[in-house]
């Protein structure tokens, strides 16, 4: 079996487990099982967690006789990575096109305060070279 890479695509079940771990912050096998739709067996969940560990997506710590699993990167970093992937894949790398799409699908009008905050964030991002 070849070693997994951290940027390898996740299966549907792996994504479901990652979503649970990001939402909870950390979880045991039993806690993951309790939140999975149509959960597989305990050993199948352990196998998914082992694979996610090999892919570098999660880590674990000992808590007595059991492992507690947690994401290996922050939710903020995972959000940025996911959005960057979406921008590259669906918007040909154009952040402007991606932001336009977000504004287009938003069903609520942005308030003046929200627009001001967005402008401020754009200015700060420009000044920090991002």
CATH architecture, domain defined by 12-71: Orthogonal Bundle (1.10)
Please tell me whether residue 19 adopts helix, strand or coil conformation. Answer: helix
**Which residues belong to CATH 1.10.10.10 in the chain?**
12-71
Q: Is the pLDDT of residue 57 over 50?
A: yes
pLDDT at 130: 60
| CB neighbour class for 49 (10 Å; exposed up to 12, middle 13-18, buried from 19) | buried
The pLDDT mean for the chain works out to 87
* Calpha distance 116→12 (Å, rounded): 38
- What number is the average pLDDT over the span 8-18? 90
pLDDT digits (tens, 9 = 90+) for 89-99: 999 999 888 88
Q: How far is CA 52 from the centre of its chain?
A: 13
- What number is the average pLDDT over the span 104-114? 77
Q: What is the pTM of this model?
A: 0.66
- What number is the average pLDDT over the span 31-52? 96
Tokens of 111: 């308030």
């Amino acid at each position: 079996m070849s070693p997994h890479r951290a940027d390898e695509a996740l299966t549907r079940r792996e994504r479901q487990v990652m979503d649970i771990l990001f939402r909870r912050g950390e979880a045991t096998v039993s806690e993951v099982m309790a939140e999975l739709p149509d959960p597989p067996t305990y050993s199948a969940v352990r196998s998914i967690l082992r694979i996610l560990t090999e892919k570098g997506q999660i880590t674990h710590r000992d808590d007595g006789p059991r492992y507690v699993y947690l994401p290996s990167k922050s939710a903020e970093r995972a959000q940025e990575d996911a959005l960057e992937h979406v921008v590259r894949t669906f918007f040909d790398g154009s952040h402007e096109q991606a932001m336009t799409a977000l504004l287009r699908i938003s069903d609520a009008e942005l308030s003046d305060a929200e627009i001001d905050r967005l402008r401020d964030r754009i200015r700060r991002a420009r000044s920090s070279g991002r």
